[in-house]
Amino acid sequence: MRSLGLTNCRNCVLVPVLLAAVIAVGCVAEGQNRKPIAVPNDLQPNLVTIATYPLLDNDNNAYPDTIPIVFYLWDNPYPLPMWADGDMRFELRDSEQRLIAEWDVSASVLDSSRRRDQVGASHVLTLDIRDATTDVLPVTKARLSAFFLGKDGAVAKTTRPLDIQIGA
């Protein structure tokens, strides 16, 4: 049997120490003096994109009733989302374009829904189907769309409504 010598023991200690030093240096270098992209002063939203989280059944009746969403306002083609002052309207329509539910969201609620996530400036809200109609619906493929009306007159909307399934 071969015994471990002092050299092997030194390597056992040296390798983790060197690895830790390299990782620490990499972490520091990664965040050094990154300048944020300059945001033009004249941006006005002209596009809304929406994403949903899994629908919730808050009243436990086996029918989804709450739609948690995150949405972004864009001045296309500027590459980052933005915040803007104004009001929103969300509409949920069936495949025949019949209105199932609609929600008007005031500027003050929009302002308090602002978050910053991996994409950038976002808004996080929940839309409750029961605010507009019953949640006891047959299984329906619906389309969620959004419209933004800025205090400065800017208008933005979804160009591709988001497909979601409601009902049970």
Structural domain including 133 reads 47-166
Q: What is the mean pLDDT of each run of 10 residues along the chain (168 residues)?
A: 47 46 48 68 92 94 94 93 95 94 96 94 95 91 96 93 92
pLDDT value at residue 19: 45
For residue 136, the domain's CATH number is 2.60.40.2550
| 41 falls within a domain | no
Q: What is the pTM of this model?
A: 0.75
The distance in angstroms from the start CA to the end CA of the chain is: 69
pLDDT value at residue 168: 87
| CB atoms inside a 10 Å sphere around CB 45 | 24
Our count of domains for the chain comes to 1
Closest to 121 in 3D by CA, of 157, 73, 159? 73
pLDDT value at residue 31: 55
| 6 falls within a domain | no
The answer to whether 66 touches 105, Cβ cutoff 8 Å, is no
| 96 falls within a domain | yes
pLDDT value at residue 42: 87
| 147 falls within a domain | yes
| 155 falls within a domain | yes
